[in-house]
A and B are shown apart, each in its own frame.
Chain A
């Protein structure tokens, strides 16, 4: 595992259409908020773990060129990481690796995107598919996840309403999150169910919004932590697992790569029964049904039991293991920052700094990320105790 490492500061921008600022200004906003959160300055940062998702989203190739100094990386090592939707998770894990390895003591991880800068993020997403066999029918992420969702529904016999109910739970949670984009007062099942069907079985309510946002996290070596904060989030476990790209050979309802990531992270953190031991989880649920599929992936229950776990109310804010107190990706999706938001939210929970969305007494949390269709998953586990 290397050296012990903690998150000491977190910085988030609001998820919205940021017509008010350029891309560098957006990244700088997240970074300065993270620095202010823990009383450090840009001079204290020794290296940058930089995340940004596909260049086609904004038409800015090699984005770390434009953004290195916006992250405080002037005359410092800047490492660009890219794993699609989970890039924010990979950049966070990259920041953790740089400190855990002993090479650096104070590292800034930052990731973001401005998805509103293209006419449609789905055009950019089209370019991630295999140009020989795969790009020809692409209509972006919704259609791909529709295949995953129907596979899950039909395999385990869940009716259409499960997705809607998961979406409603997340939207209601988002009302407590000042950084969420989709905040609809009085949001309920009927409102969600009455939204148009976009690609069966997904209605508009089953999908995430298009956001501009950046998120930053500061990783610090054990011997520096006490001087900076008395409320760190200790990194207890991390995992990044890639599957292959040949989707034709996969059961999309069974995310074995996420299961593997969870098992690795739980082993590092000494977690044997995640449903009992974890206090709060943040999942990359860009689409409603993924909430249930990912429950199974992170081993809260057996394959096929995600919907039944949801029925018990365990993952509601009032349950024993709240999922996505922030409202999750269903309420804010910049892609580039989305997976780092999951890690940052999980860290804030064990720091006791999650504001109105705080799960009282949270000591152990999990933040997840998903990217590259079903290919890449990241997990970080944070604890209030070393």
Chain B
């Protein structure tokens, strides 16, 4: 009998999930649907958080709806990287992905696999915020102009349903 010592047993795990945004993240996502970037101002330290978070990190303050502030959909690049190579394994069959990520609205978004390169991952200081919104700059024309300090503006998706990528990407202005 062969030893089978170096056999491997192959497997694949697919589990559906549904994550609860709650009130604060929920408001932020609702804002994106309406082409608005909403921030949340801590009443204790006055810091404005965008994107949303439930808690002011330093103050341990729990944000309430009344802390919401509407910000422009533009800002300044604080840091970035242009992604030229895809280091991920090939995207699996869409059928497999749809099973892995049950809320079907998310399937169209690169939840587990990044977009096809090239694109830039950017940290954008939204005007009026004190935090950096991690998002994308896309398109060779934009990538060529991208610098720390570049002014960028949101490019909104055509179909917006209250997800992070309702804001499709930022473009350099």
Contact = CB atoms under 8 A, between A and B. Distances in A.
Interface of A: 18-25, 28, 32, 42, 56, 58-60, 69-70, 72, 74, 114, 116-119, 123-124, 127, 131-132
A99 B57 CA distance: 25
A118 B62 contact: no
B22 A25 contact: yes
A25 B19 contact: no
Given A72-B60, A117-B17, A21 B11 contact: no
B156 interface: no
Contacts of A21: 20, 22-23, 54
B20 A24 contact: no
A28 B102 contact: no
Give the one of A18, A19, A21, A32 with max B CB within 10 A: A21
B164 to A, nearest CB: 14
Nearest to A21: B22
Nearest to B53: A24
Given A118-B15, A131-B9, A22 B21 contact: yes
Nearest to A41: B60
A60 B102 CA distance: 15
B55 interface: yes
A32 B24 CA distance: 18
A58 B18 CA distance: 8
Contact of A69 (B22, B55, B102): B55
B55 A28 contact: yes
Give the one of B19, B20, B62, B102 with max A CB within 10 A: B20
Contacts of A60: 19
Nearest to A29: B62
A118 B19 CA distance: 8
Contact of B20 (A23, A42, A72): A23
Given A127-B13, A131-B11, A58 B58 contact: no
Contacts of A72: 60
A332 to B, nearest CB: 18
A124 B58 contact: no
A65 B62 CA distance: 18
Binding site of B, secondary structure by majority: helix, strand, loop or mixed? loop
A348 B146 CA distance: 59
A132 B9 CA distance: 8
Contacts of B23: 20-21, 25
A119 B14 CA distance: 11
A8 to B, nearest CB: 19
Contacts of A69: 55, 57, 60
Nearest to B19: A117
B16 interface: yes
B133 interface: no
A21 B53 CA distance: 12
Given A28-B62, A114-B20, A22 B15 contact: no
Contacts of A131: 9, 11
5 contacts: A22-B54, A28-B62, A60-B19, A117-B17, A119-B102
Nearest to B16: A119
B11 A58 contact: no
Nearest to B26: A22
B54 A42 contact: no
A21 B25 CA distance: 9
Contacts of B102: 119
Chain A to chain B: the 3 pairs with minimum beta-carbon distance, closest first: A22-B22, A21-B22, A59-B17
A351 B59 CA distance: 30
A348 B89 CA distance: 52
Interface in B123-151: none
A74 B57 contact: yes
Given A28-B54, A28-B62, A74-B58, A22 B17 contact: no
B95 to A, nearest CB: 18
Nearest to A24: B54
Contacts of A58: 17, 19
Contacts of A118: 15-18
A116 B18 CA distance: 8
Nearest to B101: A59
A25 B54 CA distance: 6
A117 B15 contact: no
Contacts of A116: 18
A21 B55 CA distance: 12
A25 B62 contact: yes
Contacts of B22: 20-22, 25
A70 B54 contact: yes
Contacts of B25: 22
Contacts of B24: 22, 25
A22 B18 CA distance: 11
A22 B58 CA distance: 19
A48 to B, nearest CB: 12
Contacts of A114: 20
Contacts of A32: 62
B83 to A, nearest CB: 22
A131 B9 CA distance: 8
